[in-house]
């Protein structure tokens, strides 16, 4: 049985960039569910790939975990030439 004093969080994993995010804390499951779509939508707009979200009770020590090597993926065209702003992936503030 989970401790009812542990808050609810929206936990989101992406494969590109390889990140794990915790959004919260929330006082109730319903509150976390209400906020989850907004976090996923933000990551879609940031061009993150393979987004998986779940709601969990947790006490994360770090809110964003990431693979530093994956944060280099937007540097495909480091000068930014020839890529429209809509094609250029955005680095998230991990």
Q: Residue 35's domain spans which residues?
A: 8-77
Q: 85 lies in a domain?
A: no
Domain assignment present for 15: yes
Is 86 inside any structural domain?
Answer: no
- 3-state class of 51 per DSSP? coil
pTM: 0.70
CA 67 to chain centre: 13
Quick check: is 70 in a domain? Answer: yes
pLDDT value for 36: 97
Give the pLDDT confidence score for residue 71 in this predicted structure: 58
Contact 20, 65 (CB under 8 A): yes
How many separate domains does the chain show?
1
* Token pair in block for residue 56: 């969990």
pLDDT digits (tens, 9 = 90+) for 46-61: 999 999 999 999 999 9
Say whether 38 sits in a helix, a strand or coil.
helix
Report how far residue 86's alpha carbon sits from residue 33's, in angstroms, rounded to the nearest whole number. Answer: 29
Summary mean pLDDT of the chain: 80
Which segments in the chain show pLDDT lower than 50?
72-94
């Amino acid at each position: 049985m989970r401790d009812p004093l542990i808050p609810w969080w929206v936990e989101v994993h992406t494969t590109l960039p390889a990140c794990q995010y915790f959004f919260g804390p929330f006082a109730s499951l319903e509150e976390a569910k209400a906020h989850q779509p907004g976090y996923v939508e933000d990551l879609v707009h940031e061009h993150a790939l393979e987004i998986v979200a779940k709601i969990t009770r947790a006490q994360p020590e770090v809110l964003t975990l990431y693979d530093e090597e994956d944060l280099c993926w937007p540097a495909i065209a480091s000068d930014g030439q020839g890529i429209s702003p809509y094609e250029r992936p955005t680095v998230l503030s991990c």
